[in-house]
Amino acid sequence: MKKKVFLVLVILMTLSLIGIIFVQGYYISNSVANKQDQFTFNVKKGLSSVSKEIGDEEYRDVVTKIRDLLRQGVAVNVDTTAFIDLYIKQDISNTDETLIYRNGILEENYKLSSAIFDIGLDSVSIKKIISKNETKVYKSSSLDGTETTLFKSGETNRTEDIDFEPLYLKYSSRRPIHKRINVEKIDRLIKLQLLQDDIDIDYEFAVYNNDLATKVKTENFNYENAFMSVPFFDNKNENNYRLLVEFPDRKEFIWSSIIGMIILSIIFTTIIIVAYSSALFQLIKQRQISEIKTDFINNMTHEFKTPIATINLALDSIKNPKIIDDKEKVQRYLHMIREENKRMHAQVENVLRISKLEKNELNISKDRVRLHDLIEDAISHVELIVEDRGGHIETSLKAATSTVLANETHFTNVLVNILDNAIKYSPEAPIIQVETINVGNNVLVNIKDHGSGMSKAVAKRVFEKFYREHTGNVHNVKGHGLGLAYVKRIVDDHHGHISVESEKDKGSTFTIKLPLIS
């Protein structure tokens, strides 16, 4: 896949994922807003129903009392809560006359301090009743216009057409609110109305008159936190009662109704993000592996091309009649063929070893060995090459104890690979320092060179299979990126740890840590 096509696909998939996340967020936000609106609507509907039911019930009670009086032949006209007019109408059968008996009662209340009366109360209520009697005689013909407000004893059929609203308004306008309704009744009605809409949370309420609190309220009501208010006893007079309610747990209730949907949305979105990230990571990794394999094939081709060319030249030289009889030159060319063949064989063996390690098919048996002996053996393998380039290897084997459980062959190869790496990446005469020290129950091996070094980005990936630092088309350093990958796998198999510290143009230090055995 071309790089531009791959980049476009990644951008499109990323934008699609971001779009899905935004759509989910928008949907959840709308769901919360809808739940809030629904909650507000249900509460308002419930409070309005409570207010209407209480008002209608009071109206029915007042009208029922008036009807009872009317059935007894008493007509009622209520001017105020303190003044009551009682009318009795009586027709005279022998004459064309009607008698109207009127009894006006004025009720006044007084409160006196208990200091006057030693009765143990804070105050004493005294009720004064002033009665006013009046009897009038009317001609029956002159009462046609007033019959709607006068009611004969025993005549109740016409009361169904009477408008009791004025009487009810006058009756209720001066009554204290706490005498008209109580907290328990309001609480019961609110609870029933809310349960009809599946709203089962704690609430507080109060009745206010012109923004002033009345005695009708719950203990913990807070006016500042009032959620909603509706008209209460909407009786079109100077009173302006409102029923206020607050819900301390309103937000939790609204979120709890959609928390399941939110959790599922988060889970599925997380799965999509993880799957997308994993797929993207795998795609990028596959591209990197593809590039690395391409570099590996190029490097392998270059590595094999030189020895093959050398072998061909040596064979052609041996065929030359002038050289075939020269045993010294023939031996020299045969030695070159053998060395180049060994070199190609070693490269193939590295590839096979890595493959077997990944499949856990490489049998590594371990014995008690002295790490210092392995170090000295490894140095002997590369010492001639170092000296040939005018360099040297310094050793400082200071570890008092160096006995480890290791495979002698493979761990010697590990040390040889690191030393060979130090030689290859030393542009000048290689100067290598090998040091061992004891740290706790471990032994550390430090192999330091003063070569070209590497950047931090390269140091992080130097133990990856097939990885080599890009140097363009310049193949001044031989290898195919398998040596250090093999080193890491063997060290890990020995329950050890390997790391590298490096700085560009200042060299590298490889550190191997292995557990000691007694």
The tens place of each residue's pLDDT in the chain, 518 residues long, gives 667 887 888 888 888 888 888 888 888 888 888 888 998 999 999 988 998 888 888 888 877 877 776 676 555 554 434 444 544 455 555 566 665 555 444 444 434 333 333 333 344 344 444 445 455 555 544 444 433 333 333 333 333 445 667 667 766 766 788 888 888 998 999 999 988 888 888 899 998 888 888 888 888 888 888 888 888 876 555 568 888 999 988 888 888 878 888 888 888 888 988 888 888 888 888 877 777 677 667 666 766 776 787 788 888 888 888 788 788 888 888 887 887 787 777 777 766 766 666 666 556 788 999 999 999 988 888 887 888 888 999 999 999 999 999 988 888 888 988 998 888 888 889 999 999 999 999 999 999 999 888 888 888 888 876 666 655 444 444 444 567 887 888 898 899 999 999 988 889 999 999 999 87
Q: Give yes or no: residues 170 and 265 share one domain.
A: no
Cα distances from 16 to residues 168, 281, 282, 467, in angstroms, run 67, 17, 19, 34
In the three-class reduction of DSSP (H, G, I as helix; E, B as strand; rest coil), residue 449 is classed as strand
Tell me the CATH number at 315: 1.10.287.130
pLDDT given for residue 468 in this prediction: 61
Is residue 328 located within the same domain as residue 220? no
Looking at the fold, whether 250 and 273 belong to one and the same domain comes out as no
Give domain status of residue 361, yes or no. no
Confirm whether 197 is domain-assigned: yes
Looking at 233, 256, 279, which one is the last position of a domain? Answer: 256
163 and 182 in a single domain? The answer is no
- The answer on 189 and 156 residing in a single domain is no
If asked whether residues 385 and 505 sit together in one domain, one would say yes
User: Are 435 and 503 spatial neighbours (Cβ–Cβ below 8 Å)?
Assistant: no
| Count of CA atoms in the C-beta half-sphere (13 A) of 52 | 7
The partner residues of 86 in beta bridges, in order of sequence, read: 76, 103
Domain boundary among 303, 323, 354: 354
List of residues 6+ apart from 74 with CB closer than 8 A = 86, 87, 88, 151
pLDDT of residue 86: 47
Q: Does 337 lie in the same domain as 313?
A: yes
Same domain, 135 and 70: yes
Q: Which pLDDT belongs to residue 479?
A: 46
What is the value of pTM for the model shown?
Answer: 0.45
| Tokens coding 126 | 């005294």
- What pairing do the DSSP bridges indicate for beta strands 431-439 and 392-397? parallel
Burial of residue 512 (number of CB atoms within 10 Å: 0-12, 13-18, 19+): buried
HSE-CB at 163 with a 13 A cutoff on CA atoms is 3
159 and 202 in a single domain? The answer is no
Q: 414: domain range? A: 366-515
Query: In 3D, which of 250, 166, 160, 238 has the Cα closest to residue 204?
Result: 250
Q: Are residues 383 and 505 in the same domain?
A: yes
Q: What is the per-residue pLDDT for 447?
A: 94
19 belongs to a structural domain: yes
Residue 315 lies in a domain: yes
Q: How many domains does the chain contain in total?
A: 4
Domain boundary residue, one of 306, 334, 354:
354
Judge whether 119 lies within some domain.
Answer: no
Residue at 120 is within a domain: no
Helix (H, G, I), strand (E, B) or coil at 210: coil
CATH of the domain at 471: 3.30.565.10
- Crossing angle between the packed helical segments 3-71 and 183-196, to the nearest 10 degrees: 140
Q: Please check whether residues 140 and 9 belong to one and the same domain.
A: no
- Residues 491, 478 share a domain: yes
CA distances from 468 to 172, 292, 421 (A): 96, 8, 12
What pLDDT, on a 0 to 100 scale, did the predictor assign at position 505? 85
